[in-house]
Structure 1
Amino acid sequence: MKKITDKLYQFSIYIPPMDFTIHQYLLDTDPAILFATGTAQQAQSTLSDIKKVLGDKLLKYIFISHVESDECGGISVLKKAYPDITVICGELAARELPGYGYTGKIQMKKGGETLTDGYLKLKFVDYPSEVHLQNGILCLEENSGIFYSADIALRFGNGVGKIIKGSWSDEVNAIDAERVPNEKACEKLKEDLEAISPNLIAVGHGFCIDCR
Structure 2
Amino acid sequence: MTVTNIQSGTNVHEVADGIYRINTPVVIEGAGGFSFNQYLIVDDKPLLFHTGPRRMFPLVREAVASVLPVESLRYIALSHVEADECGSLNEWLGSAPQSSPLCGTVAAMVSIGDLADRAPRALADGEAISLGNHVVRWLDAPHLPHAWECGFLMEERTSTLLCGDLFTQGGSQLPPVTESDILGPSEAFRHEMDYFSHTKNARLQLEKLASTNPATLACMHGSAWRGDGTALLRALADALSE
Q: TM range, normalised to the smaller chain?
A: 0.7 to 0.9
Higher mean C-alpha deviation, range 127-136 or range 15-24 = 127-136
Q: How does 1:132-143 map to 2 (within 5 A)?
A: 133-143=147-157
Paired residues for 1:44-193 under 5 Å: 44-55=58-69, 58-94=72-108, 95-97=110-112, 100=115, 102-129=116-143, 133-158=147-172, 161-165=175-179, 179-183=196-200, 185-193=201-209
Structure 2 residue ranges without an equivalent (≥5): 1-10, 229-242
**Distance of 2:87 and 2:71 partners within structure 1:** 23
Deviations 1:31-50, CA, capped at 9 Å, x for gaps: 21101101111122221332
SS at match of 2:94: helix
Determine the structure 1 residue equivalent to 2:19: 8
SS of aligned partner of 2:38: strand
Q: Is the 8 A contact 2:13 2:22 kept in 1?
A: no
Asked which structure has the greater RCO (Cα within 8 Å, sep 6+), the reply is 1
Q: In the TM superposition, what is the alpha-carbon distance from 1:165 to its structure 2 partner?
A: 0.8
Cα distance in 2 between the residues matched to 1:32 and 1:57? 10
Does the CA-based 8 Å contact 1:85-1:105 persist in structure 2?
no
Q: Is the 8 A contact 1:59 1:82 kept in 2?
A: yes
TM-aligned CA distance change 1:75 to 1:155, over 3 Å? same
The Cα of 1:68 is off from its aligned counterpart by 0.2
Instruction: Report the residue type matching 1:165 in the other structure.
Output: E
After superposition, what is the alpha-carbon deviation per residue over 1:119-162, rounded to whole angstroms, capped at 9, x for unaligned?
12111211223898523210111112221110011111225552
Q: Would you say how many aligned residue pairs link Structure 1 and Structure 2?
A: 207
d(CA) in 1 for partners of 2:141, 2:179: 24
CA contact (8 A) 1:60 1:85 kept: yes
Q: What TM-score do the two structures reach when normalised by structure 1?
A: 0.84
Taking the aligned partners of 1:178 and 1:131, their CA distance within structure 2 comes to 7
- 8 Å contact kept, 1:65–1:89: yes
In 2 relative to 1, CA 38–57 (structure 1 residues): closer, same or farther, beyond 3 Å? closer
